[in-house]
Amino acid sequence: EEQVVESGGGLVQSGGSLRLSCAASGFSFSDYWMSWVRQAPGKGLEWVASIKVDGSEKYYVDSVKGRFTISRDNAKNSLYLQMNSLRGEDTAVYYCAKGAFGPEFWGQGTLVTVSS
């Protein structure tokens, strides 16, 4: 069964850092683009970042450029999101998703809360 499981969310102060992880199983992780998508409380879905199969291409939404870094370790079937200089508007459930052209399936999400 294909699965992605996020971890690493939590409560952090404004200006702080957090690293999210996504463990993939049940599919050939190294063959797929991967993405992070978030949903702030009461808001819609917002794409955050995507990374190519070999990590050679990375794309970000403007609001996180220079603060967030997406990366992957194909040997460990894992996706990461390093989040620095966190702001209140980054508070959201962060989802790991398989794919970048129309993400095929998503994890259960991990909640990131940024307090001031």
Partner 1 sequence: VVMTQSPLSLPVTLGQPASISCRSSQGLLHSDGNTYLTWFQKRPGQSPRRLVWEVSNRDSGVPDRFSGSGSGTDFTLKISRVEAEDVGVYYCMQGTHWPRTFGQGTKVEIK
Which residues contact partner 1 by CB under 8 A? 35, 37, 44-47, 50, 59-62, 95, 100-109
Smallest gap, in angstroms, from Cβ of residue 75 to partner 1?
Answer: 26
- The number of beta carbons lying within 10 Å of the beta carbon of residue 56 is 7
Tell me how long the chain is: 116
Closer residue to partner 1, CB minimum distance, 9 or 46: 46
Please answer whether residues 53 and 33 qualify as being in contact, where contact means their C-beta atoms are separated by less than 8 angstroms.
yes
Nearer to partner 1, 4 or 86 (CB): 4
In angstroms, give the least distance from the CB of 5 to partner 1. 11
Instruction: Please name the helix (run of DSSP H) or strand (run of DSSP E) that holds residue 59, with its range, or none.
Output: strand 58-60
Separation CA 1–CA 95 (nearest Å): 18
Our CB check for partner 1 shows the closer of 74 and 109 to be: 109
Task: CB nearer to partner 1: give 11 or 45.
Answer: 45
**Distance (Å, rounded) from C-alpha 98 to C-alpha 90?**
22
Distance between the two ends of the chain, CA-based, in angstroms? 40
Shortest gap between Cβ of 31 and partner 1 (angstroms)? 17
Q: Least distance to partner 1 from the beta carbon of 39, Å?
A: 8
